[in-house]
Structure 1
Amino acid sequence: MTFKELGISKDLIKGLTELNINQPTKIQELVIGHLMQNSGDLIAQAQTGTGKTAAFGLPILERINTKDNKIQAVILSPTRELAQQIKQQIFKFTKYSEKVFTEVVFGGEKIEKQIQNLRRPTHILVATPGRLADLIRRKAVDIRQAKLMVLDEADEMLSMGFKKDLEFILNTMKHQKDIWLFSATIPTDIKYIIKQYLDPNAKQLKASGNELVNEKILHQYVPCDTDEKFMVLDYFLKTQKKERGIIFCNTKNSARSLFEKLKSRKLAVGILEGDMHQKDRDKELRSFKSKKLDLLIATDVAARGIDVANLAYVVHYEIPKQLDYYIHRSGRTARAGKTGISMALCTKNEMVQIKNIQKELGIKMKQVPFG
């Protein structure tokens, strides 16, 4: 189906065309097709990198009354980076339509400045849970008139420790509203949120098996000893020549150690990990996006919210402890219709996790020999 057939207005379609978004992705077709015809709560399981922002963003924009300057929709996101991206995309969608005012609030920036910005007309508020909860407690923002709440990357919000903030926000919005929940996985905590806050008859659009992982990703693994991992990585990077990618570690200490090793080899490498100041994280991400850096070493704090075009690969230098982290990490590559590699370096003890990933996601990981 086309965006026109899904019911999207011609002015928004004009903005999409300029962004070279001409054909809806599978999740966009499913979600937009439903939301343009129905009200009520929605639960959508969708992998990262498939155009979820347009899937919920376009139906939101179709519902906004531009003559009413109150906050009409709230979009919650787990990370500052993803929140900023959502705001930017919504802004680009509306280039040729009526002016829709969107504000974004997140931790790591002076709250006074954000409070001042919220005094301007705001139709859509994009926020991280911690900062929005803080603003509500300060009575600096009123979301009680909002008729719509989007929980984007809901599983990640809970895994990052935002459960109390999320519940506080949802309890603040006890009035009649639609909740649209998007999540790559549906763990126990998400099931609790669904049971407590969503309509029992909420529409469910659930991908199954390998649909949870982008089909354009080539999944590979290399069995090796722990002390061989750096040699394997070094060889893999040489095969990739000038291609760019992200290498994931489980801990900030591992990330720091690997960063120093690669930096000593004069590679254009950056790092993102949880102990860094926000301004330093922003600086590294800007350098990576502008192609000043070819490689980024990251912990799972950075597995979300990084939308960098044309990344050829991700490497799991350490196998993630949680299945959903494998999904989120892998989703950094093969975006916007491109192909990409998800390469895991695993010891004998980690082979159990490799088998579990294949079984749970319904994918086949190709073994690549080393040596």
Structure 2
Amino acid sequence: MQNFQETGLRNELLDAITEMGFETPSPIQSKTIPHILSSDQDLVALAQTGTGKTAAFGLPVLHRIDPKTKNTQLLVLSPTRELCIQIATEMEKFLKYMGDIKVVSVYGGAPIDSQIRAIKRGAQVIVGTPGRTIDLINRRVLNLSNINWLVLDEADEMLNMGFKEDLNTILATTPEDRQTLLFSATMPKEIQNIAENYMTDPMTIKMAKRNVASDNVQHFYYLVHGSDRYEAVKRIVDINPDIYGIIFSRTRAEAKDIADKLQADGYNADALHGELSQGQRDQVMNKFRSKQLTLLVATDVAARGLDVNELTHVINYNLPDDSEVYVHRSGRTGRAGNQGISIAIVSNRDVNRIKEVERFIGKTFEKQRVPAGEEVCQARLYNLISKVENVDVNEAQIAPFMDDIYAKFEDMSREELIKHFVSVEFNQILAYYKDARDLNIKERKQRKDRDNGKFTRFYINLGEENEGFNKLKMIGMINDNLSQRKVEIGKIDILQKFSFFEVDANFESEVLTAFSNFSFGNSKVVVEKKKGKERGGGGFRGNRRSGGFKGDRKPYPRRGEGRKPRYRG
């Protein structure tokens, strides 16, 4: 398929997407549009974020919708309110010349009354998050008994965020003869189960995995102590006066903490996380898009649906555990032909992860030194001089004030005037960076046995909400339940409702056996091997503390837009 004109789509849709700049269908669009237009067969499409999935399912379904009836004919489910809004907005653009078809987005964090009124007025297309969709079904506002199409967008993310039961509930309320279109980046067991239980002989389309980073992005890493991450970020920001970027954190609590510190230190920064109301989120996003904010601190989930093409930098406050997440993060800069920079702040513990990410993205990270205080001051000074040199002077506006200004400075020499000018701008930053310490650390040589070692990652159904459960308790439980107390333990991550821990892979079966009939307080303990690649290196022996980050590796939304994540494996 060379162009959209060959698809057979309605002229009204073709006119709309032509105005939007659509020319040649993407690979996923080339395969899905003809299928959905000509067949009622269910479809499983495996494709990464950013491949044009909304048009891939939206255009052909909108072509087939009956505009004469106001009943809901299409339901699109997405994992977050941000993606929900993005999908609905794009579909409304597709429908510019088909005014009889209405789209309503439903999601938590926004008044439900207005969503109810919009549905009652008639909406052929509903785009929603699972939580709010179920709420509307329970209120008998949303009737799915006659829908013709059900789209599950980013299905793996919905399962990862704990929507398995919600999806089962929604799917059970829809007619059996609907056409189900499932889009997912990966095909875990739970997705296969949905296909087997709720889909009929689905056709599968699998696109090539996009794990290669953009050629327009440079990848740097800075090696510091974990406690110096924030100071390192400040110096990176200070030495790049024109920075316009996102700082990615692992948890919403961390995002808020970083943003609060940046604001207190005088930076134009704010946080984007699941605790914000929709109004607060929109306010933050409007400021960021208009560049009133130059730094946005966000979790991966909160950043979904954020589409800004001019970002200069992406800063990973911590490297994500999933290299594919790094690709998504770094891909937010270097867009629309611009050059971008993706930065990782790492400690010695994370150096091996840099190598893993390099292999995954097919790019090399360049190690950079955190700039010294003198370097920061020099960069800021030269940037100011350049701005002064190149500023547009409006003679007419400043003319009435110039005589008084000349009189004020007539006793100053040229050299004195420049010194005063520089001091006004730089006294504060010069004082801050006076005698600033070196944040860079030497790369520690990894012990050979640790480099070659492998860890198995386990899920355990205990978390912060279980009184008395913490990292030290987890270490004690491992040591007490295994016959050998010198088993090497890797990272331990305590989350709210569940946790993860790593143990030498040679003892995998022993761990599973040891915890098969174990209780903690009144809770029956469940330990399961987490699916995915085993990770090498960086553990500790015996009862030494884990250096792992205490927090949720994948930040989670509030109840209004979804549930806290359950075990994925």
Normalised TM-score (structure 1): 0.89
Aligned residue in 2 for 1:273: 273
Q: CA RMSD in A?
A: 2.6
Tell me, in whole angstroms, the C-alpha distance in 2 between the residues paired with 1:254 and 1:329. Answer: 17
SS at match of 2:293: coil
Q: Deviations over 1:279-338 (max 9, x none)?
A: 322321222123221111012331312123322332211122344533443343345665
> Which moved further from structure 2: 64-73 or 191-200?
191-200
Aligned residue in 2 for 1:259: 259
Tell me, in whole angstroms, the C-alpha distance in 1 between the residues paired with 2:310 and 2:28. Answer: 21
Aligned residue in 1 for 2:363: 364
Tell me, in whole angstroms, the C-alpha distance in 1 between the residues paired with 2:339 and 2:10. Answer: 31
Contact 1:49–1:331 (Cα < 8 Å) also in 2:
no
SS at match of 1:300: coil
Contact 2:272–2:303 (Cα < 8 Å) also in 1:
no
Aligned residue in 2 for 1:156: 157
Give the superposition deviation at 1:153: 1.8
1:83–1:369 Cα change, 3 Å: same
SS at match of 2:183: strand
Tell me, in whole angstroms, the C-alpha distance in 2 between the residues paired with 1:363 and 1:329. Answer: 15
1:123–1:253 Cα change, 3 Å: closer
Contact 1:272–1:281 (Cα < 8 Å) also in 2:
yes
Aligned residues: 369
Aligned residue in 2 for 1:115: 116
SS at match of 1:210: coil
Aligned residue in 1 for 2:314: 314
Aligned residue in 1 for 2:28: 27
Pairs within 5 Å for 1:205-216 = 205-208=206-209, 210=211
Aligned residue in 1 for 2:166: 165
1:26–1:236 Cα change, 3 Å: farther
Contact 2:309–2:332 (Cα < 8 Å) also in 1:
no
Structure 2 letter corresponding to 1:95: K
Give the superposition deviation at 1:228: 3.8
Tell me, in whole angstroms, the C-alpha distance in 2 between the residues paired with 1:226 and 1:337. Answer: 34
Pairs within 5 Å for 1:283-294 = 283-294=283-294
Structure 1 letter corresponding to 2:233: L
Contact 1:246–1:298 (Cα < 8 Å) also in 2:
yes
Q: Deviations over 1:146-199 (max 9, x none)?
A: 111111122222222222111111111142122222223333433333333234
User: Would you say 1:230 and 2:227 are equivalent positions?
Assistant: no
1:36–1:131 Cα change, 3 Å: same
1:216–1:60 Cα change, 3 Å: farther
Q: Which sections of structure 2, spanning at least 5 residues, go unmatched?
A: 371-569
Contact 1:222–1:346 (Cα < 8 Å) also in 2:
yes
Give the superposition deviation at 1:133: 0.8
Q: Which sections of structure 1, spanning at least 5 residues, go unmatched?
A: none
Give the superposition deviation at 1:125: 0.6
1:327–1:186 Cα change, 3 Å: farther
1:203–1:218 Cα change, 3 Å: farther
User: Would you say 1:345 and 2:349 are equivalent positions?
Assistant: no
1:181–1:214 Cα change, 3 Å: farther
Give the superposition deviation at 1:142: 0.7
Tell me, in whole angstroms, the C-alpha distance in 2 between the residues paired with 1:158 and 1:41. Answer: 20
Larger radius of gyration: 2
Contact 1:217–1:340 (Cα < 8 Å) also in 2:
yes
Structure 2 letter corresponding to 1:73: L
Contact 1:49–1:336 (Cα < 8 Å) also in 2:
no
SS at match of 2:211: helix
Give the superposition deviation at 1:119: 0.8
1:220–1:29 Cα change, 3 Å: farther
Give the superposition deviation at 1:216: 5.2
Tell me, in whole angstroms, the C-alpha distance in 1 between the residues paired with 2:159 and 2:75. Answer: 18
> Which moved further from structure 2: 67-76 or 340-349?
340-349
Contact 1:31–1:205 (Cα < 8 Å) also in 2:
no
Tell me, in whole angstroms, the C-alpha distance in 2 between the residues paired with 1:48 and 1:103. Answer: 23
Give the superposition deviation at 1:50: 3.2
Tell me, in whole angstroms, the C-alpha distance in 2 between the residues paired with 1:349 and 1:173. Answer: 49
Give the superposition deviation at 1:136: 1.0
Q: Deviations over 1:239-263 (max 9, x none)?
A: 6543422111112332223213322
1:191–1:222 Cα change, 3 Å: farther
1:362–1:4 Cα change, 3 Å: same
Aligned residue in 2 for 1:182: 183
Higher relative contact order, structure no. (Cα contacts within 8 Å, ≥ 6 residues apart)? 1
SS at match of 2:271: strand
Tell me, in whole angstroms, the C-alpha distance in 2 between the residues paired with 1:239 and 1:30. Answer: 47
Aligned residue in 1 for 2:499: none
Tell me, in whole angstroms, the C-alpha distance in 2 between the residues paired with 1:4 and 1:342. Answer: 38
Normalised TM-score (structure 2): 0.60
1:246–1:172 Cα change, 3 Å: same
Q: Deviations over 1:219-240 (max 9, x none)?
A: 4433333234334433443565
Structure 1 letter corresponding to 2:313: Y
Structure 2 letter corresponding to 1:310: E
SS at match of 1:141: coil
